[in-house]
Amino acid sequence: MFRYFENLVDPFVAYPEKDRPPRKLLPFMLDYSQPFKRVFVWVSLISIVVAAIEIGLIYYMGRVVDLLTGDPQQVWAAHGTELILVALFILFLRPLIQFVDVLLLNNAILPNFGTLIRWRAHRHVLRQSVGWFENDFAGRIANRIMQTPPAAGEVVFQVFDAISYSLAYLIGAAILLMAAEPRLLLPLLIWFALYACLVRWTVKRVGPASKAASDARSAVTGRVVDSYTNIHSVKMFAHHNLELDYAREAIEETRRTFQVEMRIFTTMDVVLTLLNGLLIVGVVSWAIWLWYHGMSSVGVVAAAAALTLRLSAMTGWIMWALTSFFRELGVVAEGMETIAQPIDLVDTPKAEPLQLTNGRIEICELSHHYGRGVGGLDRISMVIEPGEKIGLIGRSGAGKSTLVKLLLRFYDAESGEIQIDGQSIANVTQDSLRRNIGMVQQDSSLLHRSVRDNILYGRPDASEDEMITAAKRAEAHEFILDLADPEGRHGYDAKVGERGVKLSGGQRQRVTLARVILKNAPILLLDEATSALDSEVEAAIQDTLYGMMEGKTVIAIAHRLSTIARMDRILVMDQGHIVEQGPHAQLLAQGGLYAQFWARQSGGFMNPEAAE
């Protein structure tokens, strides 16, 4: 039975992805709720039935009180069967209905609704561009992905478990009192009007307060994760106290926002207690007065007392449910700031997979300044022939990395165009573009998975032998065999830690090289590919690097000029322009900027700032 209800909705069901999801709260919730529409209808109906049963039982208890005022034998003779049937209903049918109600809520909705939101939110965020991730804390993004689903689940739970039930209960209570004695409805209506005012006052303040508290919690998470991620820098610069002060500022803001939230709840609680007293005294004393003047029965007084006591007990729960509802809506609204952001870097509607035949790259009047108007690239034009090896050098900020990022379409160029084999990269699918490009970055961070998983990331369907061959070509196989992690895994099964922190820089670089070797893409980008290697390992791996380049179109960025001296052509960039190009010997003979870099390099590294 549990499995049946748990499988009523598949949280991973296929759905049309939206580049621009709803940015308003209600459309956002409705959009995610589409697979649950049928379940929501059923749980709404059952919630109303459950409330009606509760009201009916209170009414019937009043009837029982009236019946007991008669002769016991006559009462049993006339109503015994009725009492037995009601008892059987209470013992068997009522629990069954409530069982279905909680199965729908606890087993069909709650686990699946949160899972669906977390899955779709993660899918949406993963589609964002690299630039989007560079503008936020990874910790804050992850925090919003994690806290939004349970908050949304709580919102749905309160809608059906509390709000729909309580509305049905209040309407039923009004009907019961009106049927028993219409004049008893007056104190209930007065109380309800005051209660509605309290709800409105609370809700108006809880939403913004809870969103502020949620924002503050996300800020704490972002700062704490930032410290943990950069723990080496924290320890190296002995800035333990600086990081504590940085975190304390955000933690104190979290405390302040939470205090504001709790003041609202305390005020609400005190006023609610006064209102509940008014409800009990008003309805019960009015019922007693009517009984005293012979205008109602003892059963009506008993039913009115039971109803008001039940309402009094419920009102606190309803208020907390409502405040929880709007508090969690505030958390969802805060999460939407991340998971409902539009995706700006998208494939065009008619994008086709890249058909790479030769690997010819043509760049025409390419400009990109990151929206600042300065820096980056300025009207770059060049052609890289199939199989040509290009070296790229220049001062920091000359535009080298920008060119590589635009080639990978991590950003859309502000103007100009890049074509590969005659196809504009803006008109091909991003995945097909990047599948045809292998890249080794200067920051050779790895996934917190096994060495095997990290190397196979280059080509997941590769065989074990192919993976090991790639590791050997990257001079990584020997040190991998000696690896062990704290859980007792060894060799290729050992985990490398977050961002590969358990490996040295040179080891990480070689695992990254092995991954790219295994990928075997026809276009190769090397961004300081040997920067973390010592001279001995670099010398051993030089032949591997040049072997990797055979038959490929290559762009290599390097400060260590010895790694690009054998390139077919070297491009010298400065302030977003190509100022020199040609083979190594030709550029030296020209006596220009490249010759100055070469003359001033130390140990094979260039000192670009010295050439200014």
Domains defined for the chain, CATH in brackets: 10-339 (1.20.1560.10), 354-436+555-612 (3.40.50.300)
pLDDT value of residue 159:
84
Least confident residue range of 27-31, 352-356, 555-559, 566-570: 555-559
Cα of 246 vs its chain's centroid, Å:
24
**Enclosing H/E stretch for 174:** helix 164-180
H helices present in 230-349, as ranges: 231-236, 240-292, 298-339
The average confidence (pLDDT) of the chain is 85
Q: How many CB atoms lie within 10 A of CB 511?
A: 24
Q: Are 119 and 207 in contact (CB under 8 A)?
A: no
Cβ–Cβ < 8 Å for 421, 357: yes
Q: Read off the pLDDT band of 64 (50, 70, 90).
A: confident
Instruction: Check: CB of residue 440 under 8 Å from CB of residue 512.
Output: yes
The residue written with tokens 């609202």 in the block is 264
CA geometry: angle at 182 spanning 181 and 185, to 5°? Answer: 105
Question: Residue 597: pLDDT above 50?
Answer: yes
Both tokens of 388, joined, read: 């040509």
Of the candidates 342, 326, 398, 402, the residue with the CA atom closest to the CA atom of residue 371: 402
The helix/strand/coil state of 526 is strand
Contact 446, 511 (CB under 8 A): yes
pLDDT at position 44 over 70? yes
What is the reported pLDDT for 386? 93
Nearest to 210, CA basis, from 337, 336, 326, 322: 326
Contact 161, 105 (CB under 8 A): yes
- For residue 290, is pLDDT > 50? yes
pLDDT band, very low/low/confident/very high, at 610 (cuts 50, 70, 90): very low
Q: What is the pLDDT of residue 580?
A: 92
Q: How far apart are CA 176 and CA 173, in angstroms?
A: 5
Q: What per-residue confidence (pLDDT) applies to 611?
A: 44
- The DSSP letter of residue 100 is H
Output the pLDDT for position 238: 82
Average pLDDT, stretch 494-505? 82
- Helix 72-88 vs helix 37-67: crossing angle, to nearest 10: 170
Instruction: Answer whether residue 510 shows pLDDT above 90.
Output: no
Model confidence pLDDT, tens digit, residues 78-111: 888 988 998 999 899 989 998 999 999 999 999 9
pLDDT tens sequence across 533-574: 666 666 666 777 777 788 889 998 877 777 788 889 999 998
Q: How far apart are CA 607 and CA 394, in angstroms?
A: 10
Max mean pLDDT among 72-86, 386-400, 440-454, 456-470 falls in 456-470
In this structure, of 81-90, 230-239, 359-368, the range with the lowest mean pLDDT score is: 230-239
Query: Which H or E element spans position 123?
Result: helix 110-126
Report angle CA 598, 604, 608 to the nearest 5 degrees: 50
Whether pLDDT at 382 is above 50: yes
Those residues with Cβ within 8 angstroms of residue 6's Cβ, 6 or more apart along the chain or in another chain: 107, 108, 111, 112
Q: Which residue has the higher pLDDT, 383 or 184?
A: 383
Cα–Cα distance, 445 to 450 (Å, whole number): 13
| pLDDT score recorded for residue 134 | 82
